[in-house]
Structure 1
Amino acid sequence: MAFSCATGKHRRPSRVKQATTRTMGVAALTTTGVIGTLSGPAFAAEPSAEQTGLTLALSIGDSVAEQVGAQAAAQRQAAEAAAQQEAREKAEALAEKRAAEKAEQERKAEERAAREAERKRLNTYVSPIAGSYVSTGYRTGGAVWSSGTHTGVDFHAASGTTVRSVGSGTVVAAGWGGAYGNQIVIRMHDGTYTQYGHLSSIAVSVGQTVTPGQHIGLSGATGNVTGAHLHFEARTTAEYGSDIDPVAYLRAHGVNV
């Protein structure tokens, strides 16, 4: 008994028809050249859309990595340069500090040396006549002195012998002194006074400062004398009558008389 198939629109095509349809589709593609195109060398050489996107992503990733690496290298270089600059500045500051400290130490040393030199100068005393000796002592009695005694000492000295300041001080009198002849009176740095009498010449003036051993005049025989010599007095004031023992005065200041 033979059966015929219904031709309704909801009936699925048979397997034979499906195969035939596929065959016809392939043939049509072959006729239009699509298969030939897809299977040609050009298709093999041209990258697919998926391949092109991957390559671009890799290229962009490499570029960003290079930029990041370059930035990191630049930052490292900047940090190293900053560290070196900071180290240089610290070294320079330390060198300046040490130089300032050294200069301050040198300044203080110079000040100490200057003070010591000044102290030594102020405390240095010498004999008024170099290499001489006392020929007439202090408080020696006799009619030749108006007070009845000698108010100073006489140093042996020929006329024209250099007379020296016994220490540092300021000249308060320089000129004629009556019985003392040409005289010089010096106020010493410690407030005492020294007098030099019977000079043949005077080499200083009032107000002048003098130093130990400085030439101030020449010995002679001016005033009330019997011969050339130097009359030397030590006083508590610039005036006559305030005399103190000149030998003890000089010895107290280190002079061997």
Structure 2
Amino acid sequence: MASAQEGGDASGADRVRSIPDRIPGLSAFLSDKDEEAATTQTPVITAAPLTSAGVAVTAAAPGSDPSSDPGEALRSRILQQADAQEAIVEAERRAEIEAKAVTAAAEEAAELAERERLEAEERERAEEERKRKEEEERKRKEEEERLRQLRESYVAPLASYSLSSGYGAAGAMWSSGYHTGTDLVAPAGTPIKNIHTGVVKEAAWAGSYGYRVVIELADGTEISYSHLSSMAVVAGQEVVTGEVIGNVGSTGNSTGPHLHLEVQPAGSGTVDPLAWMRGKGVAI
């Protein structure tokens, strides 16, 4: 039993002696204490069972102050340093956890902000698309209304002109013995506008009439434009009021650039083009 106890004492003492190697700065502190102990002849620490902190010293003599015991002082310092190390580790762990939480919160906030930005952009695009469609629809309706009014309206064929031979004028130059239309004099190349919406019945060379365009209206009335220098429409094409159908010229039986205009209502002969247009509200 004595030898076993001695072996146990030696093991405890070894553990005590190894502590300074594990705690920075403790070796120098113990060296100073050993020199002081040698000078003052302090009793040597003997091995004893380790406490929960892993260190034990011999019991102090009855009536002595434990704080003056070098072994107890060493144990206290070791425990303080261990507690301080644990506190540092715990503080670092908490700081790391807090830093990760802050980083995660910042990332989540950034993701949320990005989602909100994308959603706002999508709403803005949707609103712009809605406005664009509304504007397109408004323009479409305006254009439909404009065309409707054009179809229902009548205009003069030339913006500027002077009257030459009027309707019904007698003369051997006309095969019928009288003028079946009205001549409107204008410079060659002047655009000719369609008087009213209809379908092109003819767009071709017509002998003494030169290049001629004939428009048939919905009520069967035919309007012919003769002596054109060029034609801008073809047979079968629908043309609306005010659309350019050709240009003033002097082709066929003509003495100079002018537009020979004839109006022939359905089921009857020609009528005075100026009187007919005035009856449709055209200021001419």
Q: Same fold (TM over 0.5)?
A: yes
Question: For residue 187 of structure 1, what is the aligned residue in structure 2?
Answer: 215
Question: For residue 218 of structure 1, what is the aligned residue in structure 2?
Answer: 249
Cα offset for 1:157?
Answer: 4.1
Cα offset for 1:96?
Answer: 1.6
The answer to whether the Cα contact below 8 Å between 1:161 and 1:219 also exists between their aligned partners in 2 is no
Greater mean alpha carbon deviation, residues 247-256 or residues 208-217: 208-217
The answer to whether the Cα contact below 8 Å between 2:214 and 2:223 also exists between their aligned partners in 1 is yes
Is the counterpart of residue 154 in structure 1 residue 185 in structure 2? no
Question: For residue 3 of structure 2, what is the aligned residue in structure 1?
Answer: none
The answer to whether the Cα contact below 8 Å between 2:190 and 2:248 also exists between their aligned partners in 1 is yes
SS in 1 for 2:162: coil
Report the residue type matching 2:224 in the other structure: Q
Cα offset for 1:113?
Answer: 5.5
* TM-superposition CA deviations, 1:115-165 (whole Å, max 9, x none): 466557664622458332374336x89999777886x43236499796834
Given the superposition, is the C-alpha separation of residues 228 and 114 from structure 1 closer, same or farther in structure 2, using an over 3 Å criterion?
closer
2:277 to 229, 250, 254: 250
2:111 to 62, 78, 82: 82
Gaps of 5+ in 1: 1-31
Over aligned residues, Cα RMSD in angstroms? Answer: 5.1
Given the superposition, is the C-alpha separation of residues 54 and 76 from structure 1 closer, same or farther in structure 2, using an over 3 Å criterion?
same
Question: For residue 235 of structure 1, what is the aligned residue in structure 2?
Answer: 264
| Count of matched residue positions in the alignment of Structure 1 and Structure 2 | 218
* TM-superposition CA deviations, 1:7-50 (whole Å, max 9, x none): xxxxxxxxxxxxxxxxxxxxxxxxx9558976653441233887
Given the superposition, is the C-alpha separation of residues 129 and 183 from structure 1 closer, same or farther in structure 2, using an over 3 Å criterion?
farther
Cα offset for 1:207?
Answer: 1.5
Question: For residue 203 of structure 2, what is the aligned residue in structure 1?
Answer: 173
The answer to whether the Cα contact below 8 Å between 1:141 and 1:148 also exists between their aligned partners in 2 is yes
Cα offset for 1:218?
Answer: 2.3
SS in 2 for 1:125: coil
The answer to whether the Cα contact below 8 Å between 1:196 and 1:232 also exists between their aligned partners in 2 is yes
Question: For residue 95 of structure 1, what is the aligned residue in structure 2?
Answer: 124
Cα offset for 1:57?
Answer: 5.6
Cα offset for 1:243?
Answer: 4.1
Report the residue type matching 2:234 in the other structure: G
Given the superposition, is the C-alpha separation of residues 100 and 221 from structure 1 closer, same or farther in structure 2, using an over 3 Å criterion?
closer
Gaps of 5+ in 2: 1-42, 47-56, 61-67
* Larger relative contact order, structure 1 or 2 (CA cutoff 8 Å, min sep 6): 1
Question: For residue 125 of structure 1, what is the aligned residue in structure 2?
Answer: 155
Query: Residues of 2 paired with 1:146 and 1:193: CA distance?
Result: 20
SS in 2 for 1:203: strand
The answer to whether the Cα contact below 8 Å between 1:234 and 1:245 also exists between their aligned partners in 2 is yes
